[in-house]
Chains A and B, each alone.
Chain A
Amino acid sequence: MSSNKYWKGVEELEQTQEFVTSNANEFSEGLPLDKVFANDDSTRANRRDFLKYFGFGLGAVTLAACNKAPVKKAIPYTEKPDNVTPGVPLYYASSSVSNSEGFPVLVKVREGRPIKFEPNKEATYFGGGLDGLGHSAILSLYDTNRLKGAMVAGKRKVQEWADFDKEVVAALDKTAASGKAIAVVTNGSTSLVTNQAIADFKAKYSNTNVVAYEPISYSGIIRANETAFGSAVIPAYNFQNADVIVSFGADFLGTWISPIKFHSDYGKNRVPKDGKMSKHFQFESLMSLTGSNADVRVPIKMSNVGKHLIALYRELGGATPQNGMETAGNSIKQAAEELKAAQGRALVICGSNDEQHQLLVNAINTMLGSYGSTIDTTNYYKGQSADEKNFNAFLKEAANGSYGAVITIGANPVYSHSQAEAAYTKIPVRISTAITLDESSENSTHIATGLHPLESWDIQEPYKGRFILSQPTISPVFEGRHVASSLVAWSGASVKGTKEYSHAYAYAKSVFNNSIGGDFNKAIESGILENTTTANVPSLNVTVNSTIDAIAAKKSSDKELILYQKVGVRDGAYGNTPWAHEMPDPITKVTWDNYLCISMPDAKAAGWETGDTIKVTTPSGSMEMPILIQPGQTKETYGIALGYGRILPEEVQNDLKDLGHNAYPLVDMKGGFANYTIGAITLEKVETARVYEFGITQTHYSIEGRDIIREASLEEYRIDPKAGQNVHKPKPISLWEDYDYSKGHHWAMAIDMNSCTGCSACIVSCSIENNVPIVGRDEVRRRREMHWLRIDRYYSFEAPVKKDLSLSIVHGGDQTVEAGEQMTKEKVMEAYSDSSEDKDTAYDYYQNVRVAHQPMMCQHCDNAPCETVCPVLATTHSSEGLNQMTYNRCIGTKYCGNNCPYKVRRFNWFRYNENEKFDYHFSNDLGKMVINPDVTVRSRGVMEKCSFCVQRIQTAKLTAKRDNRKMKADEFTTACAQTCPSNAIVFGDLNDANSEISKLYKDDRSYHVLEELGVKPSVQYLSKIRNTDNKTNA
């Protein structure tokens, strides 16, 4: 039952004074009228001031009025390429820029400018979605800090490539003659083209050592698979085949290995069809995106993960000694029962990078028959395959002076590896092929500026036998050169291209012919090529008893620090991607910062508040960071996100500069692997530091105890599909006259809260499609973020049914609280008072929270309250059910924003596109290239909001009219729905009986948010069903 109450943040739950005052108003800061009218001479305008301002104003108006529209030029192509039609976009299959291993996408190109990534729906294996960072990374093409061409350190002046090559070859020859080795450091790229070029290079310089380096290591899995099955690979995981998923700290929906693909696979089994859906257990420390979607989430310590694995191994029938187990109450037993029942359709994964843990996971999966079904080691994953062992060995040798030259391709070790800078400096010739100035290229002697992936030919192989081809979608913006061409040039061959094609094209084509074969043009057109084999079932080579003994012998740490990745920023490779930084973190809703996450019991025990600065000391160093209290986090665990603290070029003067703190130096390398769980830490408060204010969006609106989220357990759903919906509904009395929408189109949207994981890809996709400005951290603090689409994240308590806290999450919600009653802190305290024996554990219940994600955008109400109050009719209703916003009519009274019950309207406080203070991409000539020409760039002083991508509606209608045909069902969709990896958003025409939306509207789970207001929204939500009864899915 939905009797448990929801809250958006600790502030709201505790009703802090600050929160109450700030939420009493629509806008966080009112006009400073009281200051103006105060009886204070310093702020009052006197007669002289009045005359001054009046005179200036008059003069300014006169001059401004004199500025006639400038003469505009129209410059056509001199020679128009055949397939280009000005005003009509072209789509090219390519690979996502942010995934170095390759991910299939389509690139939308307008008049030769790539303006947006869209998912490649033909690439079904990869799921047909895209993530927030993937969308944001298009800005790396239009980054003003891109390197302009070949340069030699010190001079930093663009050189002719021929002269540059001579210099590089001379330096390399000298190195070779001196007998010292040359290193090629790659980012573990799966590019066949680059790898072939490296091979060519090696043919000339035989003393070359190729080392792969990636900031985030999965070597635990690779090594365990080598030990267990004799193949050192990361397998492919098939979540779509799994009925029961048990994850130990693996954030597979957010950051672990290949989350976009996992998202869509996972999403396939999350919609309760015929009363069935997959069951997901998550044992984890920090509240991750994956954990927030789990049916059963058990807070554990990551340093204890091995002991939980032992317990699971034993429960599944593995013979082990009795000692060294952690059972997390009854939870491991429950998970084991479910797993056993789902033999062959089960999957256990673990986020630890410890080989021993992964070995045990392999043994468990072998027992469960997962190999060949949910795990595929034959068509394995080829990305992120770097083992830090090799790189660390290289650094050691480099520090000893055994290397004479290093060529760095795609990697940035100086940023993400604490020892890299010292070792690199010992190498006399340091060549970088970076495209923007980063920590490693800054530190190099020669920069052979590469090409942006959108300017390049490439063939990647993210999974064995699955190829992704990319082609240039824009001619090089600067004087870069393809990495392969550079390597080939240094190995002595000519890289002169023909008039039509660059050398890289011919090279990529020859690589294709030699290693894949077939029709190159056809492959380029579809962008994907599959040549996989049937998965075989590997047999386990080893017994795990000694592993278990070793794990059991390890002591878990008292307090532990967990270094994790944030969904939007990931490993930090893309420092200058403002869209990704402004995207609120799906869980904390913090923008533009990293922080030390801390659990509520720990914060209360220490008397710390969010924003306090804490010094955390680890064996590898210490850091001072502001803290953030995170409900759901395990006691005595602390988290810091990697990927922040990038050192960007001096020219960057916006919020991207000095962004957060770099936590990479804290990674523990002592055990022979990169361990992201660090024990033996101490924390102390820095008393002198000011309270830090995060740019956080979560508490910008309060929910006032309204019935916004509806949910039920799977069992309840099976008995009554309308479960969770039995809310008392007052009969709506309408202020408005009804309109008949049955003719023509009636656009509507449905959002399934079961499939929606909160990943926030839709937010970025929407921003790019609709030219939504980036406002920066300070403006977010003032509640002025401009996102048309936000994802509300609600917490609710799992009140204890039994006294055992760790079990409570398995069972339904709190039955003691009446519907409509606010679930206050006191109420929870009372409910828990029996189970809390002393004051210190009184806040332990904060470890057990449930999360619901709800995308929220303009609901396009049939009876829209915003329309009623607009004094100038700037917002009106269309006959197709759209709530229209007419910017040129808007005079900025903000009445509409005030009257909107969903709080989805956004006000342009500045002219973001021409204001130097908002120097993200909107205000510079290069960044402006990414603007969607079909959508108005809004000016200061107007309201804006979701338009249901009306530009796409209009285009689709026009296409049908031009083709003299009726519209096909679902022939287009909005930007958010298009990018959703788990298909949670469906958009379409309600009047078309064949459309998916008209079917979904009849679903028993569907409801309108705040339907009691009678505003008749056009967005329908499907209530959340949690698989929380252990008998339902047998």
Chain B
Amino acid sequence: MSSFYSESTFLALIILSVVLAAIAALLFGIRKHLKSLNEEKNPTAKEPTFYESKIYPVISKWNPTIATLVIAGFLLVVLGAFGYKFGMDEVGVQQGYAPNQPINFSHKIHAGQYEIDCKYCHSTVEKSKSASIPSLNTCMNCHKYVKADEKYNGKTSPEIQKIYDAIGYDGDNMEYIEGYEQKPIKWIRIHNLPDLAYFNHSQHVVVGNLECQTCHGPIQEMEKVEQFATLQMGWCIDCHRERGIDSENNEYYEEVHKNMIAEGKDYVTVAENGGLECSKCHY
């Protein structure tokens, strides 16, 4: 696609041409109708058209009401689905978004096959609001030696070679290149929360004891990462309404836990603890 138009501008132009085509078809139909009126006045024998011989006999048997409803229903479903998708994209809901990344990194191999702990690479997830994409020196902890060259006739895997090119590592001699100008990898961000919403990974992973997969889906099976959840506010809130906080094992919640027992409850949900209040996430 031309980079001049964004994807959606292109779509709008297509819609516009469809509308214009419809108008052209209408005009053409009127012209044809006038022509046939003229022929009725001055009838001449002629061959039955394709429409008269093949299509008309079939559709003339249909019940006009049902036929209209079926066609209208079909259009409604197709266009409605398209419109829904379009609207969701517009407000930034990108569930299922799976762009091609500069390096075809496979979570399936790393997290699935080799069962590397998520936190080994996403090391700040317990300390910071962002889980953070690992820096290349984390990759190099293994890929200094792991070149996957057995699959590429003794040559370094082209994907791993991209790491070497970025950080300045000579895979053949297994040494870093002095004075190399490093080129950072520009990953494409998949999970884009709007600026107005504050999310903290450490809050959910350390305090909330959530598994990564709860929000990110079966990441260990993904060859290419895609957005699993909608990341819409309703999705956040649903979880906050259902899940209980770990009041028993966290001293911070001592008072909450006492009150909970006094009230004879089994658990306190995040929502009951104020987790639905606006400025818990919006500030």
User: A631-639, A719-727, A813-821, A885-893: which one contacts chain B?
Assistant: A885-893
Pairwise interchain contact B136-A72, C-beta atoms closer than 8 A: no
Pairwise interchain contact A951-B9, C-beta atoms closer than 8 A: no
Q: 1/0 per residue B120-138: CB within 8 Å of A? A: 0000101111101111111
Given contacts A744-B255, A744-B256, A936-B282, contact A79 B167 (CB under 8 A): yes
Inter-chain CA distance A76–B129, complex, in Å, is: 15
A606 at the interface (CB under 8 A from B): no
Given contacts A87-B129, A937-B195, contact A961 B278 (CB under 8 A): no
Pairwise interchain contact B128-A958, C-beta atoms closer than 8 A: no
CB contacts (< 8 Å) of B282 on chain A: these are: 884, 886-888, 936
User: B28-36, B151-159, B199-207, B235-243: which one contacts chain A?
Assistant: B199-207
Pairwise interchain contact B185-A76, C-beta atoms closer than 8 A: yes
Those of B148-204 within 8 Å (CB) of chain A: 166-167, 182-189, 192, 194-198, 200, 202-203
CB within 8 A of A878: which of B9, B196, B279? Answer: B279
Inter-chain CA distance A967–B280, complex, in Å, is: 17
Q: In chain B, what residue has the closest Cβ to A877? A: B277
Given contacts A69-B92, A878-B278, contact A78 B8 (CB under 8 A): no
CB within 8 A of A87: which of B12, B89, B124, B183? Answer: B124
B254 at the interface (CB under 8 A from A): yes
Pairwise interchain contact A884-B135, C-beta atoms closer than 8 A: no
Pairwise interchain contact B130-A63, C-beta atoms closer than 8 A: no
CB contacts (< 8 Å) of A966 on chain B: these are: 251-252, 254
Q: In chain A, what residue has the closest Cβ to B196? A: A888
Q: In chain B, what residue has the closest Cβ to A77? A: B135
Given contacts A66-B8, A75-B187, A76-B185, contact A951 B283 (CB under 8 A): yes
Given contacts A85-B124, A885-B279, A886-B279, contact A76 B250 (CB under 8 A): no
Those of A45-99 within 8 Å (CB) of chain B: 62-63, 65-69, 71-80, 85-88
CB within 8 A of A76: which of B133, B194, B249? Answer: B133
Interface size grouping (class) on chain B: 35 or more
Q: In chain B, what residue has the closest Cβ to A745? A: B274
The distance from the CB of A958 to the nearest CB of chain B, in whole angstroms, is 5
Q: 1/0 per residue A925-962: CB within 8 Å of B? A: 00000000011110000000001001100100110111
Inter-chain CA distance A888–B281, complex, in Å, is: 11
The distance from the CB of A748 to the nearest CB of chain B, in whole angstroms, is 16
Inter-chain CA distance A423–B224, complex, in Å, is: 70
B7 at the interface (CB under 8 A from A): yes
B6 at the interface (CB under 8 A from A): yes
Pairwise interchain contact B203-A961, C-beta atoms closer than 8 A: yes
The distance from the CB of A104 to the nearest CB of chain B, in whole angstroms, is 28
The distance from the CB of A613 to the nearest CB of chain B, in whole angstroms, is 45
The distance from the CB of B126 to the nearest CB of chain A, in whole angstroms, is 8
Pairwise interchain contact B274-A879, C-beta atoms closer than 8 A: yes
B52 at the interface (CB under 8 A from A): no
Pairwise interchain contact B207-A962, C-beta atoms closer than 8 A: yes
B47 at the interface (CB under 8 A from A): no
The distance from the CB of B221 to the nearest CB of chain A, in whole angstroms, is 22
Pairwise interchain contact B207-A958, C-beta atoms closer than 8 A: yes
A882 at the interface (CB under 8 A from B): yes
CB contacts (< 8 Å) of A885 on chain B: these are: 278-279
B80 at the interface (CB under 8 A from A): no
CB contacts (< 8 Å) of A479 on chain B: these are: none
Pairwise interchain contact A947-B135, C-beta atoms closer than 8 A: no
Pairwise interchain contact A74-B128, C-beta atoms closer than 8 A: no
Count of chain A residues with a beta carbon within 8 Å of a chain B beta carbon:
51
CB contacts (< 8 Å) of B274 on chain A: these are: 744, 878-880
B68 at the interface (CB under 8 A from A): no
Given contacts A78-B135, A887-B282, A960-B252, contact A73 B188 (CB under 8 A): yes
CB contacts (< 8 Å) of A947 on chain B: these are: 279, 283
Given contacts A88-B127, A947-B279, contact A962 B192 (CB under 8 A): no
CB contacts (< 8 Å) of B127 on chain A: these are: 85, 88
A155 at the interface (CB under 8 A from B): no
CB contacts (< 8 Å) of A960 on chain B: these are: 252
Pairwise interchain contact A87-B283, C-beta atoms closer than 8 A: no
Those of B262-283 within 8 Å (CB) of chain A: 274, 277-280, 282-283
Pairwise interchain contact A961-B207, C-beta atoms closer than 8 A: yes
Inter-chain CA distance A729–B83, complex, in Å, is: 60
Inter-chain CA distance A74–B134, complex, in Å, is: 11
Inter-chain CA distance A954–B199, complex, in Å, is: 11
Pairwise interchain contact B134-A884, C-beta atoms closer than 8 A: no
A743 at the interface (CB under 8 A from B): yes
CB within 8 A of B128: which of A62, A73, A85, A886? Answer: A85
Most chain A C-beta atoms within 10 Å of own C-beta, residue among B187, B189, B207, B283: B283
Question: What 7 A-B pairs come out closest when comparing CB atoms?
Answer: A87-B128, A80-B135, A884-B279, A77-B135, A72-B189, A74-B189, A886-B278
A-B contact pairs, 17 of them (CB 8 A): A66-B11, A69-B89, A69-B192, A75-B187, A76-B134, A78-B166, A78-B167, A78-B182, A79-B135, A87-B132, A879-B274, A880-B274, A884-B279, A887-B282, A888-B197, A937-B195, A967-B252
Using a CB–CB cutoff of 8 Å, the interface residues on chain B facing chain A are: 6-9, 11-12, 89-90, 92, 94, 99, 124, 126-130, 132-138, 166-167, 182-189, 192, 194-198, 200, 202-203, 206-207, 249-256, 259, 274, 277-280, 282-283
Give 18 new A-B contacts, CB below 8 A, not counting A76-B134, A78-B184, A85-B124: A62-B12, A66-B6, A66-B11, A68-B6, A74-B188, A76-B135, A78-B166, A80-B137, A80-B138, A878-B279, A885-B278, A885-B279, A886-B278, A888-B282, A954-B198, A961-B250, A962-B126, A965-B252
